[in-house]
């Protein structure tokens, strides 16, 4: 998932946003034709771990450097912080369509 090749012949707009299922990427070419690809959270996290770790002797013996460990932990903490901020802001918003809240969390 982490490495994708894109060949652009003209102008290309790229939008990257988190979705309920993962990371969504929308490409729009110079003729306003959109292309959407979604990368599931599980794949994104597996790729992040794979990028920062090395398998030594077996699939159960996976190691990382101190720098990568710190990066992964900081990344996880940052994602949690921003997810909590988003949740707090959205829960305080007024719903305009009149529906009752179906609390998921």
Q: Is residue 99 part of a domain?
A: no
In this predicted structure, what is the pLDDT of residue 25? 94
**pTM (2 decimals)?**
0.70
The pLDDT of residue 24 is: 96
Look at residue 101 and tell me if it is in a domain.
no
Classify residue 65: in a domain, yes or no.
yes
Q: How many domains is the chain partitioned into structurally? A: 1
Task: Provide long-range contacts, Cβ within 8 A and 24+ apart, for 29-37.
Answer: 37/4
Where in the sequence is the domain holding 54, given as residue range(s)?
12-91
Please indicate, yes or no, if residue 5 is contained in any of the structural domains. no
Domain annotation covers residue 45: yes
Dump pLDDT digits (tens) for 3-56. 666 676 778 899 999 999 999 999 998 888 899 999 999 999 999 999 999 988
């Amino acid at each position: 998932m982490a490495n994708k090749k894109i060949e652009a012949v003209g102008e290309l707009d790229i939008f990257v946003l988190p979705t309920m299922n993962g990371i969504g990427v929308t490409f729009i070419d110079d003729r306003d034709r959109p292309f959407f690809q979604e990368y599931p959270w599980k794949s994104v996290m597996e790729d992040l771990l794979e990028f920062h770790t090395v398998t030594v002797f077996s699939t159960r013996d996976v190691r990382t450097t101190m720098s990568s460990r710190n990066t992964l932990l900081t990344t996880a903490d940052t994602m949690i912080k921003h997810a909590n901020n988003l949740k707090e802001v959205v829960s305080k918003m007024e719903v305009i369509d009149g529906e009752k809240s179906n609390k998921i969390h």
